[in-house]
């Protein structure tokens, strides 16, 4: 396959950026999208040009490090797939592909396709730790958890924090990310002691950095793990309940 790649280049956060076009020749349809970028970078290195910076780690759709806009779609044209899992067979010979970083004020570009996702870390930090000592696996397994709750918790916990939801949202909201991180603990017995203080702390921290959710649903479509926006509704309900429960607790 021969492709034309229009890639965003930006030397530093304060430097002006712009698109630059590269020709990718003899790309294997079985290569992953990141392997295609690896081959391009090898060529750029051999030609004495600065390689393209992009985030990656596990390349198995687990770590959430990868993630770019591909022809205007977070992670590319294949649903339920992280950038590292996308293969070039999803494109056709002669295609022109535009590749750019996530676009959101809370996710500033560090260099080329790499963005700073520190704002996500702040939300997680606000949630703190659970105080329940779960012990070793056999001890944890004696806690009775309804099958539906366990499955829903696992669905929420599948969030890899890639920020595709923010990039897809017209408001640059992070509600799907925050809801997933809040819900996977709120659904389990171990997460109950700090449930109400946790949701308030994480939502308020999220609102410091990101826009507001107006139910466009783009986040669910862009999510490589197909996390449902039902978790946003769950988070909103818990946040409203927490206002009363935390008030009563303080009054006591």
CA distance linking residue 112 with residue 92, whole number of Å? 25
- Residue 236: band (very low, low, confident or very high) from pLDDT cuts 50, 70, 90: very high
φ and ψ at 4, to 5 degrees?
Answer: -110, 120
pLDDT digits (tens, 9 = 90+) for 9-31: 999 999 999 999 999 999 999 99
φ and ψ at 151, to 5 degrees?
Answer: -65, -40
* pLDDT on residue 138: 67
Provide the mean pLDDT of the chain: 94
CA distance linking residue 81 with residue 4, whole number of Å? 22
- E strands, the chain, in order: 3-9, 18-24, 69-70, 73-74, 96-100, 109-111, 114-115
230: its two tokens: 């039902």
Domains detected in the chain: 3-111 (3.10.20.30), 117-251 (1.10.1060.10)
Mean pLDDT of 57-70: 95
- 139 pLDDT above the threshold of 60: yes
- 223 pLDDT above the threshold of 80: yes
CA distance linking residue 246 with residue 252, whole number of Å? 10
Q: Please state, for a pLDDT cut of 90, what percent of the chain lies above it.
A: 89
> CA nearest 211: which of 154, 158, 171, 165?
171
Vertex 61: Cα angle to 22 and 39 (nearest 5): 25
* pLDDT on residue 247: 60
* Bridge partners (DSSP) listed for residue 23: 4
> Of 134 and 19, which is predicted with more confidence?
19
- 252 pLDDT above the threshold of 50: no
- E strands, 96-224, in order: 96-100, 109-111, 114-115
Mean pLDDT of 185-189: 93
Q: Which residue is listed with tokens 């293969």?
A: 87
- Residue 78: band (very low, low, confident or very high) from pLDDT cuts 50, 70, 90: very high
Mean pLDDT of 39-61: 96
Does this model's pTM top 0.85? yes
Tell me the CB-side half-sphere exposure of residue 150, using CA atoms within 13 A. Answer: 7
237: its two tokens: 């309900």
pLDDT digits (tens, 9 = 90+) for 141-173: 778 889 999 999 999 999 999 999 999 999 999
- 251 pLDDT above the threshold of 70: no
> Cβ distance 183 to 152 under 8 Å?
yes
């Amino acid at each position: 396959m021969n492709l034309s790649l229009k890639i965003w280049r930006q030397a530093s956060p304060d430097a002006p950026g712009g698109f630059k076009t590269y020709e990718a020749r003899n790309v294997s349809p079985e290569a992953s999208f990141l392997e295609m970028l690896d081959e391009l970078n090898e060529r750029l290195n051999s030609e004495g040009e600065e390689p393209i910076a992009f985030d990656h780690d596990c390349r198995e759709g687990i770590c959430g490090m990868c993630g770019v806009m591909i022809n205007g779609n977070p992670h590319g044209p294949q649903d339920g797939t992280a950038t590292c899992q996308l293969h070039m067979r999803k494109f056709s010979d002669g295609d022109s592909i535009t590749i750019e970083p996530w676009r959101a004020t809370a996710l500033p570009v560090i260099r080329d396709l790499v963005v700073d996702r520190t704002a996500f870390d702040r939300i997680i930090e606000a949630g703190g730790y659970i105080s329940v000592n779960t012990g070793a696996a056999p001890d944890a397994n004696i806690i009775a958890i309804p099958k539906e709750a366990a499955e829903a918790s696992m669905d929420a916990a599948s969030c890899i924090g890639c920020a595709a939801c923010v990039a897809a949202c017209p408001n640059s909201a992070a509600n799907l990310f925050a809801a997933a991180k809040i819900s996977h603990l709120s659904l389990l017995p171990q997460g109950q002691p700090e449930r109400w203080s946790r949701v308030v702390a994480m939502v308020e921290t999220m609102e410091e950095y990101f826009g507001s959710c107006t139910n466009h649903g783009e986040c669910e479509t862009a999510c490589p793990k197909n996390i449902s926006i039902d978790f946003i509704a769950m988070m909103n309900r818990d946040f409203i309940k927490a206002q009363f429960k935390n008030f009563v607790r303080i009054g006591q």
